[in-house]
Amino acid sequence: MTRPAETPLDSLPVELVASMKQAGLSATQVYSTVAAAVAEDLPGEDVTSAATIDPAQRATADLVARADGVLAGLDVAETVFRYVVGDVARIVRHVEDGATVTRSDVLLTVTGPVDLLLTAERTALNFLCHLSGVATGTAAWVRALEGTSAKVRDTRKTTPGLRMLEKYAVRCGGGVNHRTTLSDQALVKDNHVLAAGGVVAAYEAVRSRYPDLRVQVEVTDLDQLRELLDAGCAEILLDNMATARMAEAVAVTAGRARLEASGGLDLTRAREVAETGVDYLAVGALTHSATVLDIAMDLRAGDPA
C-alpha cells in the first residue's frame, strides 16, 4: 500500500484533538492543511516506495533533532502520520512543543508499515522543521530582551495558509501574537493615514465605525505621536525611528499608550530598542524569514518490537 489511509478527522485520537485545542489550534484547520499538503505530494502513488517496499513490512522510525532549538509542530506532524498511516500507526512523543531540544534528541517515535512511514516522512518533517524554526528564531529574540519589559511580537507577514500554525510557533518560542486577521484589530498604517487626511482623522474614523475594536496607529514622528495621545489613542506603532527618537517617544508618551517599535529591526538592535522602554518589538522576520530547524527521520533496522 503506497496510498495514504486518509484517516477522517473524527477518527483522530481524542488526546490529539484535545492537545490542539489546548494549544489554541483548530483541529479542523490543522487536518485540512495536512490533507492539502499530502495531496500536493501524492497526485498518484508513492512510486519509489511502491517499487521497493513490501506493503506488509513494518518498522519503527524516530524523528531526531539534528540541531539545537525550540520545538513546535508535534501535533501537526502526528496528524500527518495519522492521516497517511491510519489507525495502525503507533506513536509515542518524547518531548512537547515549546521544549528546548539538543542535537540527537529523539522527539517522536512512530511504528507502522514502512511504505506509509516513508510516504508521510517529508510532509511531517516540512511542518515540524519549519514551525520549530519559527519557534527557535523567536526564542533568540526573547533571550535578547531578557531583563527588559519589552516583548517580541509577530506580524501578518506569514506563509499563505500557515498563519495559524506560524503564530502558534511564535508562542512556542515565547513571543506574542499581534492581530491574526484584518478583522480582529485595526492597524492604521501610512497609506490609511494618507487616504484619511491625517493620523487623528484616520484614528477617529475607525473609532466611529468600530467603537469596541482595538486600534493601533502608525506614526513616523513625534508630532503625530502627540496628536494621537491627545486624541486618546492607546496603541501606537513607531515606524522606522532611530533608537534615540524612540526613547523620546517613550518619554513623551509617559505611559498613556502602549508603544511598538517597527521597521528594520534585527537582533543586533533588539536590546537597545527594548531599553528605550517600548512595550513591543514588531518582527516580521519571525515568520517570513525563519530558518528551519534540522530534524530527520531515522528508520530503525529490523522488525518493530
State which residues of the chain have pLDDT below 50. none
Q: Which among 90, 93, 179, 189 is annotated as catalytic?
A: 189
- What pLDDT, on a 0 to 100 scale, did the predictor assign at position 3? 73
Q: Identify the residue whose cell numbers are 525611528.
A: 241
CATH code, 32 = 3.90.1170.20
In a domain, 235, yes or no: yes
pTM: 0.95
Q: What are phi and psi of 160, to 5 degrees?
A: -50, 130
Same-domain check for residues 135 and 159: no
In a domain, 76, yes or no: yes
Give Cα 70 to chain centroid, integer Å: 12
- What pLDDT, on a 0 to 100 scale, did the predictor assign at position 302? 60
In a domain, 39, yes or no: yes
- Count of structural domains, the chain: 2
pLDDT tens digit string along 107-119?
999 999 999 999 9
CA nearest to 82, candidates 111, 61, 105, 55: 111
H or E stretch at 100: strand 100-101
Same-domain check for residues 109 and 170: no
Q: Which among 105, 239, 260, 279 is annotated as catalytic?
A: 239
| Structural domain harbouring 58 | 9-141+291-299
Same-domain check for residues 165 and 130: no
Could you confirm whether 218 is annotated as catalytic?
A: yes
CATH code, 171 = 3.20.20.70
Q: What is the DSSP string of 28-72?
A: HHHHHHHHHHHHHH-SS--HHHHHHS-TT-EEEEEEEESS-EE--
In a domain, 4, yes or no: no
Could you confirm whether 157 is annotated as catalytic?
A: yes
In a domain, 305, yes or no: no
The phi-psi region of residue 72 (left if phi > 0; otherwise alpha if psi is between -120 and 50; otherwise beta) is: beta
Same-domain check for residues 194 and 109: no
Could you confirm whether 54 is annotated as catalytic?
A: no
In a domain, 1, yes or no: no
In a domain, 21, yes or no: yes
